[in-house]
Structure 1
């Protein structure tokens, strides 16, 4: 068994620079989640890039996986668990069971982003597009020039 364990540690050590870069951006510590739940996220001191995630009735050992969206994703492929870290919240899902184990988990950095979003909500794709600054003056200029001759005409007619 010692040789098997050594082989596992050697395989774990072979993390790509991209995966290690993702691992550096993972928020660690005890993160409060919705409904009074909490998740403890701790880096594995023996295996850089790996994390231990635990909470009520679960414990996973996860590693970073590159995404096309820029979200930080950690996986425990054996257990089917996935940790997704966005700018304003994180969530833990069990893909095998098809359920969320924890949602709305936030580090202090994520709380600050979530608060900023509340104060300045991003535009929805369903909102009407707002005119840009360059369009507004061009639209206003013809209205002003049209009004000037009309205003001058009654004055000359009154003479």
Structure 2
């Protein structure tokens, strides 16, 4: 029961952290990034659903495993799109709708895909079929990852325990006598 309550809290916590992180203004370095000429975007508008996904994107410099850093900044000229920078590479990313609730940004031309989960983010090159950066975590994602290590989620085969309020619990009858007929 306690694990299920804790997991419910852990599922809500990232949205609170996202709301605080997403409202921060990008740093001067992030504002100074220019969109590469090769990736000039047609200025098509995104749907309302895509803009809702864009509100959940964590922005800023996000440290990753192996001393990588991914920087994400809102695109200055196209609301809902983002400029992702890793090393000297820059990619204009746009939100993609998912059925799992994960935040997904994609650049179809370059094949780059940014996946943002509650406990970590990763950058993948879809065309080459490899991860470019893994284990990228903001402070909020790091808190969720640590909580998941301390209290792992219930397994798929674990029995489900449903707690009943005390007033709904029916008293059990006393010991029953079983009568069997013998010949």
Write the distance in 2 (CA, Å) between the matches of 1:131 and 1:146. Answer: 25
Give TM-score, length-normalised by structure 2.
0.65
Write the distance in 1 (CA, Å) between the matches of 2:53 and 2:43. Answer: 15
Q: CA deviation at 1:131?
A: 3.6
Q: Flag the 1:130–1:37 CA change in 2: closer, same or farther, 3 A.
A: same
Q: Deviations over 1:12-65 (max 9, x none)?
A: 341111111111110000101112211111111111111111112532110001
1:14 aligns with 2:28: no
Root-mean-square deviation over aligned CA pairs? 2.5
Q: CA deviation at 1:83?
A: 0.5
Counterparts of 1:139-150 in structure 2, within 5 Å, are 141=172, 145-146=174-175
Write the distance in 2 (CA, Å) between the matches of 1:146 and 1:131. Answer: 25
Counterparts of 1:99-118 in structure 2, within 5 Å, are 99-118=130-149
Aligned counterpart in structure 2 of residue 133 of structure 1, from 158, 163, 171: 163
Matched positions, count = 136
1:87 aligns with 2:114: no
After superposing on structure 2, the runs of 4+ consecutive aligned residues of structure 1 that deviate more than 6 Å are none
Q: Deviations over 1:86-135 (max 9, x none)?
A: 11111110010000001111112211221221222111214x3154334x
Identify the range of structure 1 (114-123 vs 27-36) with the bigger mean alpha-carbon deviation.
114-123
Unaligned runs of 5+ in 2: 1-36, 178-183
Q: Flag the 1:90–1:61 CA change in 2: closer, same or farther, 3 A.
A: same
Give TM-score, length-normalised by structure 1.
0.74
The structure whose residues are more often helix, as a share, is 1
Unaligned runs of 5+ in 1: 150-159
